[in-house]
Amino acid sequence: MKIAQNTVVSVNYKLSDAQNNLIEDGAQPMVYLHGGYENTLPKIEEELDGKEVGYSSTLQIEPEDAFGDYDPSLLKVEERSRLPEPLEVGMQFEGMAEGSDEEPTIFTVTEIADDKVVLDGNHPLAGMALRFDLSVIDVRAATPEEITHGHVHGAHGHHHGDDDMDDGEGDHFRSQPLN
C-alpha cells in the first residue's frame, strides 16, 4: 500500500542536528495519520507521500520548516518566589508570553540563581536544522474513527480513557517525536 491521505504510517527514525549529533534515536517508531493532520512535520509528509514499506531516506529540515527560529524575546526572568519548589533546570511550565493573548507557551527552566529564574519559551529544537533518517515499516488504511479524530488509535496511538469521551483538544497524542 502506498502512503496517501488517510493512511496510518509507521516509521523508524533517527533524529540528528545538522552536525550529525544524535538528538533522538527513535527507540519507538513514529506512528502518524498521513494527510495534513499535523501529526508530524509537513516536510516529512511531503517526503513520504506516495512511498511504500521499505522506503528509506535522509531528510534535512531547516528551522523555518521545523520549530522556527530562536526568538530571544521568549526568554523571561522571573522571581524565584513566583515558581513552585523544588525547582530544577529542565522543568517546564505553561505560561503566557509577554503581550500575547494566544495559546499558552511552554517555558523551560534554563537557569536558576538565588532569587531569579530564567525561563525560555522557545521550543527546545528552535533554531536548529534537523536531519531525519526515516525508514517506512508499515502502512495501513486509517479507520473512519481515526480519520474523524485526526489521529492514530491503538498501539503507539491515542488511547481514549473513560474521562476522554469528548475527545476534546489538549491531551491528544501527537505521533510527532519532538514534543
6's torsion region: left (phi>0), alpha (psi -120 to 50) or beta? Answer: left
Residue 28: how many other CB atoms lie within 10 Å: 12
Is residue 158 within the footprint of Zn ion (CB under 5 A)?
yes
CB of 168 to Zn ion, least distance (A): 11
CB of 123 to Zn ion, least distance (A): 25
Beta carbon nearer to Zn ion, 39 or 105: 39
Beta carbon nearer to Zn ion, 34 or 158: 158
Q: How far apart are CA 146 and CA 151, in angstroms?
A: 5
Residue 87, classed as helix, strand or coil, is coil
- Asked if 124 contacts 90 with a C-beta cutoff of 8 angstroms, the reply is no
CB of 152 to Zn ion, least distance (A): 8
For cell 504510517, the residue is 9
Please work out the total of residues on this chain that contact Zn ion, with binding judged by CB under 5 A.
Answer: 2
Nearest to 167 by CA among 176, 158, 175: 158
Site string for Zn ion, 118-157 (x = CB under 5 A): -------------------------------x--------
Main-chain phi, psi angles of 80, to 5 degrees: -60, -30
CB of 40 to Zn ion, least distance (A): 16
Is residue 37 within the footprint of Zn ion (CB under 5 A)?
no
Beta carbon nearer to Zn ion, 131 or 149: 149
Residues near Zn ion, by CB under 5 A: 149, 158
